[in-house]
Structure 1
Amino acid sequence: MKMSRLGKWIVGLVVALGFTGVALASTTDVEASTLYRAYNPNTGEHLYTQNGNEIPFVVRAGWRNEGTAWEAPSQGARVYRMFNPNNGGDHHYTLNMNEVNMLKGKGWRYEGESWKSGGSTPVYRLYNPNAKSGTHHFTILASEKNNLVRAGWRYEGVAFYSGKDTPNTGGNNGGNGGGSQQLTWTVWYNVPADEDQSYALKPGQKKFATEGEAKAFIDKYARETPTGSTGFGYRQI
């Protein structure tokens, strides 16, 4: 789907930047709020935002809502958002002011603080040297990180920290959850158009009692699925 000019302004190509920042984890988890993630199947790019109003906007422009990226704390190190007005629009996220200043020197616009980094769950940063769009990816899932590295991406270290460290409780098979547990989390998987769609999962198809179980299922499914690992999402029902 062709995006509107305003849609392109919201998100675009992420440039190849050297990662020189150091993300500092706090010793305790802090109060967190949801950070959302959307995916552009035409460019391979992901959008990360704490502003829930951005997600419906880009979805109308052809993006896929991938739900929760991770939990961002209310206190911690500032993560900055930069915008490149050239090449149809482009955003990048960093807590490194040297990176901010470098991008300013290349014509990028400083858009201020996007969210905060803190807690004890690492958010990994990866770079695809072969891509012209969607060159950087951020994830809290070790399985997603490892799959991308095997596919040729470069692991650039821990970019940020999540404000909520949910224990990985082992997951389930998406069945009844056992006993009287309420199944309040769901996952989904958007398979690339040129891959086997039988691996796709729709929201509500798999349900879990905890966030940890949902993430554990994604980790396991990503390891067993030959169709890639960047189309997963999860959220509370």
Structure 2
Amino acid sequence: MEKFILGLIFVIGVIFAVTINVSDAEATLGTKPIYRMYNLNTGEHLFTPSDRECSLILKLGWVSEGVAYYAPVEHSGNVPSIKRLYNTAADDHHYTVSNEEVEYLVSQGWKNDQIEYSGAGSNGLPVYRLYNPNSTTGTHHFTLNTIERRGLLKLGWIDEGVAFKALLQ
């Protein structure tokens, strides 16, 4: 049943990624694409602004889901940066704008990936954060897609609200 649910989430994610997948050349000036990758073995989604990282993890068997959203190139002082952390024990990534959450997770053994990019300001769209209490990897899921969000909530995921804001083209 868990493989079916992970497969369903993957399909929903791919559909969503395809609907907003545009080339870098089409990106509005002043933004950079944030790619969403999917690990078929763990069910985890990875977000990265790096073409190089995408190429490397594709070779490890991850699946590209295209551009998830866009981030401003220029960081605005009043908009918090999105920070990525990695849990080596669970093989899991996490994203947060909270410096306190970064400090806490690092104190619990997570590694700060030093991957950081600007969130969007008040004009951005909400990226929802959900938590799966029944999983050890891919425990958090981040999505702009309200259909994907509703589907996960129906499967027992816990809504943790808006994690940060992002841009679509």
Q: TM-score, normalised by structure 1?
A: 0.53
Indicate how the Cα distance of structure 1 residues 125 and 52 shifts in structure 2: closer, same or farther if over 3 A, else same: same
The structure having more radius of gyration, on CA atoms, is 1
1:126 equivalenced with 2:157 (yes/no): no
Matches within 5 A, 1:26-41: 31-41=30-40
> Could you tell which deviates more after superposition, 142-151 or 111-120?
111-120
AA at the equivalent of 1:85:
T
**Match in the other structure for 2:101:** 99
Aligned residues: 135
**Match in the other structure for 2:66:** 67
More helix, by proportion = 2
Given that 1:31 and 1:163 are in contact with CA atoms closer than 8 Å, whether structure 2 keeps it comes out as no
Q: Cα distance, 1:86 vs. partner?
A: 2.9
Once residues 111 and 34 of structure 1 are traced to their aligned partners in structure 2, the CA distance between those partners, rounded to angstroms, is 18
AA at the equivalent of 1:150:
K
Once residues 120 and 78 of structure 1 are traced to their aligned partners in structure 2, the CA distance between those partners, rounded to angstroms, is 13
Given that 2:44 and 2:92 are in contact with CA atoms closer than 8 Å, whether structure 1 keeps it comes out as no
Given that 1:78 and 1:113 are in contact with CA atoms closer than 8 Å, whether structure 2 keeps it comes out as no
**Match in the other structure for 1:150:** 154
**Match in the other structure for 1:55:** 54
* Runs ≥4 residues deviating over 6 A: none
1:83 equivalenced with 2:86 (yes/no): yes
**Could you say what secondary structure the match of 2:150 adopts?**
helix
The two structures, once aligned, show a CA RMSD in angstroms of: 1.7
Once residues 108 and 137 of structure 1 are traced to their aligned partners in structure 2, the CA distance between those partners, rounded to angstroms, is 17
**Could you say what secondary structure the match of 1:148 adopts?**
helix
Q: Cα distance, 1:82 vs. partner?
A: 1.6
Indicate how the Cα distance of structure 1 residues 44 and 151 shifts in structure 2: closer, same or farther if over 3 A, else same: same
Once residues 135 and 34 of structure 1 are traced to their aligned partners in structure 2, the CA distance between those partners, rounded to angstroms, is 24
Q: Cα distance, 1:113 vs. partner?
A: 4.3
1:163 equivalenced with 2:162 (yes/no): no
Indicate how the Cα distance of structure 1 residues 91 and 85 shifts in structure 2: closer, same or farther if over 3 A, else same: same
> Could you tell which deviates more after superposition, 38-47 or 109-118?
109-118
**Could you say what secondary structure the match of 2:54 adopts?**
helix
Q: TM-score, normalised by structure 2?
A: 0.73
**Could you say what secondary structure the match of 1:47 adopts?**
strand
**Could you say what secondary structure the match of 2:105 adopts?**
helix
**Could you say what secondary structure the match of 1:53 adopts?**
helix
Q: Cα distance, 1:163 vs. partner?
A: 2.9
